[in-house]
Amino acid sequence: MGKNIIIFDTTLRDGEQSPGISLNIQDKLEIAMQLARLGVDVIEAGFPITSEGDFKAVKTIAEEVEGPVICGLSRAVRKDIERAGDALRNCKKPRIHTFINSSDVQIKHQLKKTRKEVLQMTEEAVKLAKSICNDIEFSAMDATRADINFIYELVGVAIENGATTINIPDTVGYSMPWEFGEFIASIIKNVKRSREVVWSVHCHNDLGLSVANSICAVKNGVTQVECTINGIGERAGNAAMEELVMIMDTRKDILNVSTKIKTAEIMKTSQLISRLTGYQVQPNKAIVGMNAFAHTSGIHQDGVLKERTTFEIMNPQKIGLKESKLILGKTSGRHAFSKHLGELGYFLNEESLERAFVRFKDLADKKVEITENDLEAIAQDEKRISQKETFVFESIETSSGTGKIPQASIKLKKDDKIISAKADGDGQVDAVCNAISRATGIKTKLLVYNVSSITSGLDSQGEVTIHLEIGGKRIIGRGVSTDIIEASAKAYLNAINKSIQLKEK
């Protein structure tokens, strides 16, 4: 089996720092629960000092999620560390992760301190954190652009004062793989008491090298890697967990390491993160992209049909995929439909199941083939609809043409009362959104509008993701339909309902 590599997941902290992502407490708890099922060793639940919402999210996860270590991030300052400690107070396996700038460019221009002051701050921060809990991680931010001799001294101070994990970040994704491997080996070799701590890396993807750098670090003595699902995070993102895990699993022959990750949960986790963040996974993304196990070439297809390993180095079932498509048609009955949903992990109540079945039948009349992705889109949308919403979508009518002003009529239901409104706009989608705003009486500002197809083909269902600014807050709405105008209306209304729920809370 080789040595075990600790998987430190920072999707809820660094991942959420991706532009446009804003998860509520329930979203974060759902993600944390799935990460625990996935088998991650450490969940970095957030940065408690940044906001009351982040504090409550870390506190909730610390109290309700069992299994992984729950970690809170802090700068090397008293108020941050104490706030992290408060959030983790009732956690069975807490960790405080404190960090400080280590490169001269950041020490001088951002921190406005000297190296001596940084060493003193590190000593005080780690001592304070250690007085709160035993598991302390220290990070030397921007280490790969720092003087290596200063890194020796800095992490040495952290170890002397009680740090149990030392993290060496490539914060701006600057290092080359061979260079980073040598850098890590040198630090472990030259720092006193290095065998007493866990060595970790946190690599960013600015040059597309985060995964390669992390693997080179593992080859040179690191036993913890910090990563995110789908590689989301600041700027170009972080090392993708699914890629790191499957590299270590597939190439045991040369790496001689293992993880505790339950790989069959990888795809489900990836899809959950994509759905809740609004960040689509690119089709050719390694491991979890929809093309990762697809074969188009006749030569490839022939080879795979004869022997899967001719063109597949991983078994798709290992990450939670089925090798064959799930095909349903318009002649399928309710029982078969329900059974297929159950096999995909969706169990709807009777009302939601009936609506989903009607939608399925309608879709089957329009499409030759119904795929698993189609079924999941319907089931996920019905789960969303089944949650209490102030305004319920009823119907829309639109009209437009060359030289004509696009117009839309909308009907919504609120407390069993039908509300109707009409509006025009620059296009049909704009007209529909204007009509919804008029019907609900809620003003919005459109920030992002994204359309993606659930499957390939002109008859595919479309998924619309809308980012709105409502009352100074960024809200994400989603809607699914074979009609993009209708999907847009549902997404726009979903965001408005979320804003109302947020205001009520």
pLDDT higher than threshold 90 for residue 134: yes
DSSP secondary structure string for all residues of 258-300: E----GGGHHHHHHHHHHHH--PPPTT-TTTSTTTT---SHHH
Chain centroid to Cα 501, Å, comes to 23
- Residue 459 is predicted with a pLDDT of 63
Please report which confidence band the pLDDT of residue 327 belongs to, taking 50, 70 and 90 as the band edges: very low
When pLDDT is cut at 50, 70 and 90, the band that residue 160 belongs to is very high
Written as six digits, the tokens of 497 are: 């309902």
Highest mean pLDDT among 318-327, 370-379, 380-389: 370-379
Q: What is the pLDDT of residue 500?
A: 85
Contacts of 297 (CB under 8 A, 6+ apart): none
Q: What order do you get walking across the sheet with 417-424 strand by strand?
A: 392-399, 407-414, 417-424
The yes-or-no verdict on residue 178 having pLDDT over 50 is yes
3-state secondary structure of 30: helix
pLDDT, residue 295, reads 59
Distance CA 210, CA 247 (A): 13
Residue type, 88: L
Q: For residues 484 and 464, is the Cβ–Cβ distance under 8 A? A: yes
Question: Cα–Cα distance between 389 and 150 in angstroms, integer?
Answer: 56
pLDDT (average), residues 464-492: 87
Query: Which pLDDT score is estimated for 392?
Result: 86
Positive or negative, the Cα torsion across 373, 375, 378, 383? negative
Structure tokens at 173: 């994704």
Structure confidence at residue 293 (pLDDT) = 74
Give the residue-averaged pLDDT of 467-471: 89
- Listed range (125-134, 168-177, 321-330) with the worst mean pLDDT: 321-330
Please state, as a whole number, how many other Cβ atoms lie within 10 Å of the Cβ of residue 277: 23
Lowest mean pLDDT among 220-224, 324-328, 451-455: 324-328
DSSP β-bridge partners for residue 258:
4
Strand 473-481 with 462-470, pairing: antiparallel
Which residues sit opposite 43 in a β-bridge? 9, 70
Alpha helices in 191-265 (DSSP H): 210-219, 241-250, 252-255
Match 């998924």 to its residue by tokens. Answer: 463
Band of the pLDDT at 257, cuts 50, 70, 90? Answer: very high
- The Cα–Cα gap between 276 and 265 comes to 17
The owner of tokens 């004062």 is 161
- β-pair type (69-75, 42-46): parallel
Structure tokens at 54: 């982040």
Tokens, residue 350: 């009777």
pLDDT band at 384 (very low <50, low <70, confident <90, very high): low
The sign one gets for the Cα dihedral 295, 301, 306, 309 is negative
Per residue, what are the HEC states of 435-460? Answer: HHHHHHCCCCEEEEEEEEECCCCCCC
Task: Note whether 4 and 198 are within 8 A (CB).
Answer: no
Three-state DSSP state, 170: strand
Q: How large is the C-alpha radius of gyration of the chain?
A: 25
> At 142, is the pLDDT very low, low, confident or very high (cuts 50, 70, 90)?
very high
* Type and span of the H or E element at 472: none
**What pLDDT sits at residue 115?**
98
Angle, vertex CA 499, rays to CA 498 and CA 500, nearest 5? 90
Percentage, residues of the chain above pLDDT 70: 90
Please provide the size of the chain in residues.
Answer: 505
User: How confident is residue 378, by pLDDT bands cut at 50, 70 and 90?
Assistant: confident
Q: Which of 73-82, 325-334, 388-397 has the least mean pLDDT?
A: 325-334
Using the 8-state DSSP alphabet, how is residue 93 labeled?
A: S
Q: Token match 């890590």: residue?
A: 184
Which residues touch 307 (CB under 8 Å, ≥6 apart)? none
pLDDT band at 304 (very low <50, low <70, confident <90, very high): low
Given a cut of 90, whether residue 388 has pLDDT beyond it is: no
User: What is the torsional sign of CA 76, 80, 84, 86?
Assistant: positive
412, two tokens: 């919504």
Q: With 50 as the cut, is the pLDDT of residue 237 above it?
A: yes
Helix then strand then coil, in percent of the chain rounded to 5, is 45, 20, 30
Q: Which residues pair with 366 in a beta bridge?
A: none
pLDDT digits (tens, 9 = 90+) for 72-128: 999 999 999 999 999 999 999 999 999 999 999 999 999 999 999 999 999 999 999
Average the pLDDT over 299-314 and give the result: 72
Could you tell me which residue, 368 or 278, shows the higher pLDDT? 278
Q: Kindly report the average pLDDT of the chain as a whole number.
A: 89
Model pLDDT, residue 298? 44
Question: pLDDT of 265-274, one tens digit each?
Answer: 999 999 999 9
Q: Please determine, for residue 244, whether its predicted confidence score (pLDDT) is greater than 90.
A: yes
Strand order in the sheet with 445-453: 445-453, 462-470, 473-481
| Contact between residue 374 and residue 455 where contact means Cβ atoms under 8 Å apart | yes
191 three-class SS:
coil
